[in-house]
Amino acid sequence: MKIVVLDGGCYSFQSQNGNKIVRYNSSSYNSKNETSSMNHGSAVTKIIDNYVQESTIISVQVFNDNHMIRARDLASSIKKSINEFHPDIINISMGTRSDSDGELQQAVNYAVKKKVVLVCAADNSGAISYPAFYKDTLSVLCDYKIKQIKNFNVVYNNWIDILAYSGHFSVEIKKRQEQVIGSSFSTPVITAIINNMWSKDLVGQDNLIVEIKKEMSQMQYSNDSFHLKHHHNIVNDFLTSKDKAIFLPLNKEVFALMNNSDFVVPHIASIYDYHTSPKIGKSMADIGYTSYVPNQVIGDMRDINWESNDFNSVVLGHVKEISLLLKKDLLSEIIEKCNEYNKKIYALDLVQNEKKLYKERLGGSLFTFNTPIVGVIGTSSKQGKVSLQLEITRLLKKVGYDVGLMLTEPFSEIIGCKHYWHYGYNASKFSWQEHVVGSNNTMKKIDDEKHDLIIAGTQSQVMSSNMKNTGFIPVETQSVLTGINADCYVLLVNKTDSTNLITRIVKYIESYYNRPVLALVESRGTSELKGNLNDLPIFCLSETDKVVKRIIEFF
């Protein structure tokens, strides 16, 4: 078998699997010098080498350090490689956004004629990319649901053919272990799998791509034989301060609850995590990021004593993904245990919005509110928006304000929020109109409670930084913000965000929603954005008291 890798070149290395490694580094790309493009090409080549044996792998340098290549040059490289090396497979862990002259299409057609399989990485941003877009290639996209390196799913009726591993690869480059991630590095794994399933019978087929997909369909990772039960008729129990609850597993949502345990309604009896977790045996106080974490040691879920009277309730974080990975229905198991031992349960995977909340009124009319509203928004995910909401609430309460909270998280009731609009992870799908009406009705219920102030939050991102894929357009958050109709905003930013992105988001909020952004808050550690941006002050999380001061002054 012979595999050509069209990439950024490759450093010299010795195969560990008896493969012959051939390097063709172009002098036009200054390949005598060590370049960053070679890191990319070396990683791709080494991943193939890790998973094939006794094959010839030919690394051909077709781009340099700017990692850019024109469609014309890539098309030429494909044809030239076919003619010079006569490969069985060509791995292309890159692409272009355009093929306006159709030259890549012609190169793909030439590969089909010569019975050469092109295995092409799709664009990580979700944009259409070439040659992966063409039907006579095998296009590969990494997918977060695929958790094992050799696992994959075959896709039909789509320009994407293969969904592959989405995690990190550890690759040795120049005697250093480098971590790489993305479709560029999932693609060589698929190339290796195709190499290993190669046969004369396969090559003899009229449509090689179709036959490869058929054969891979028999090998693919699949959950078809494993189904999670649906629990549409099960409603979460209502927990009060008299309840003693165990919390598990220690994932993102439960971790946020532990870091704001002063808001948690039931008593925290114990905390548990999966038996493979490195957190087991550690104290929450050692791994938490606030002074509100409980000083409890994290236990192994397998050691829960269900007969114990030390707890009467279970708060269960999201377990769908880990259940599919383990092929073990954890939600059903915990529900059965709670039924058997007469324990209450509050499972985040069971949280649903009330139907009456999103029933649209005739004419699409919306409520306006009497209570002042502060919106807490962010430039991306995983910034700690809920923690900032709660810290602002905490500080306002300390100086005597009665504060209402509007959350969009599934654990809202666990921290005492009776009214919420859940549209985060594993939430039901709604139209943009239902998001507007649902969040607006929720705000009306909180407004009717006559607080001094309402702190309202949303899910991640308010403005798309990527217009190349519908999945990056935050229609839900934009709709929820319309329903909330805040009087002012606090914007969480990352220290890696460009000033251009932050400025655009501020302008968008202030023009579209016609309300001011009062402050920027850097989401992790001390702000590196130097004081202010366009006259907006920038604070770090430890300076939330200054944010509160600006809120009070505004109203």
Q: Which of 174-188, 229-243, 298-312, 385-399 has the lowest mean pLDDT?
A: 229-243
CB 508 within 8 A of CB 500: no
**pLDDT higher than 90, residue 478:** yes
Average pLDDT, the chain: 89
Residue 263 above 90 pLDDT?
yes
* Residue among 199, 196, 202, 187 at smallest CA distance from 152: 187
pLDDT at residue number 222 = 56
pLDDT of residue 531: 65
Give bridge partners of residue 21 from the DSSP assignment. Answer: 57
Q: What is the pLDDT of residues 296-308, one digit of tens each?
A: 999 999 999 999 9
What are the residue numbers of the active site? 7, 40, 184
Q: Report whether pLDDT(223) > 70.
A: no
355 pLDDT more than 80: no
Q: pLDDT category, 529, cuts 50, 70, 90?
A: low
CA distance 487 to 455: 10
pLDDT at residue 232 in the model: 62
Residues in the chain: 555
69 against 445, higher pLDDT: 445
pLDDT value of position 258: 96
Tokens (6 digits) for 146? 């695929």
What are 394-424's pLDDT values in tens digits? Answer: 999 999 999 999 999 999 999 999 999 999 8
Single-letter residue type at 129: S
Q: What pLDDT, on the 0 to 100 scale, is given for residue 353?
A: 86
Angle between helix 183-196 and helix 36-51 axes, rounded to 10 deg: 30
Quote the pLDDT of residue 67: 64
Higher per-residue pLDDT: 225 or 508: 508
The pLDDT score that the predictor gives to residue 31 is 42
Closest CA to 215 of 231, 198, 229: 198
The answer to which of 54-68, 114-128, 311-325 has the lowest mean pLDDT is: 54-68
Beta strands in 290-417 (DSSP E): 298-300, 313-316, 344-347, 373-378, 403-406
pLDDT of amino acid 323: 82
> Helices 208-219 and 183-196 meet at what angle, rounded to 10?
90
* pLDDT one-digit tens code per residue, 4-36: 999 988 888 999 899 999 998 765 444 445 556
427: exposed, middle or buried (Cβ count in 10 Å: 0-12, 13-18, 19+): middle
Which pLDDT score, from 0 to 100, does residue 362 have? 63
Amino acid (1-letter code) at residue 114: K
At residue 202, the pLDDT reads: 75
- Average the pLDDT over 515-521 and give the result: 94
Banded model confidence at residue 533, pLDDT cuts 50, 70, 90: confident
Please name which of 368, 263, 264 lies closest in space to residue 313, comparing C-alpha atoms.
Answer: 264
| Residues 121 and 140: beta-carbon distance below 8 Å | yes
The per-residue pLDDT for 29 is: 40
Say yes or no to pLDDT of 228 above 70: no
- The structure tokens listed for 441 are 């009705």
Would you state the pLDDT for residue 32?
47
Q: How confident is the model at residue 526 (pLDDT cuts 50, 70, 90)?
A: very low
Nearest 5°: phi and psi at 363? 85, -5
Instruction: Give me the mean pLDDT over the 280-286 stretch.
Output: 94
For 177, the enclosing helix (H) or strand (E) is: strand 176-180
Average pLDDT estimate for 190-219:
83
Exposure on the CB side of residue 198, measured as CA atoms within 13 A: 20
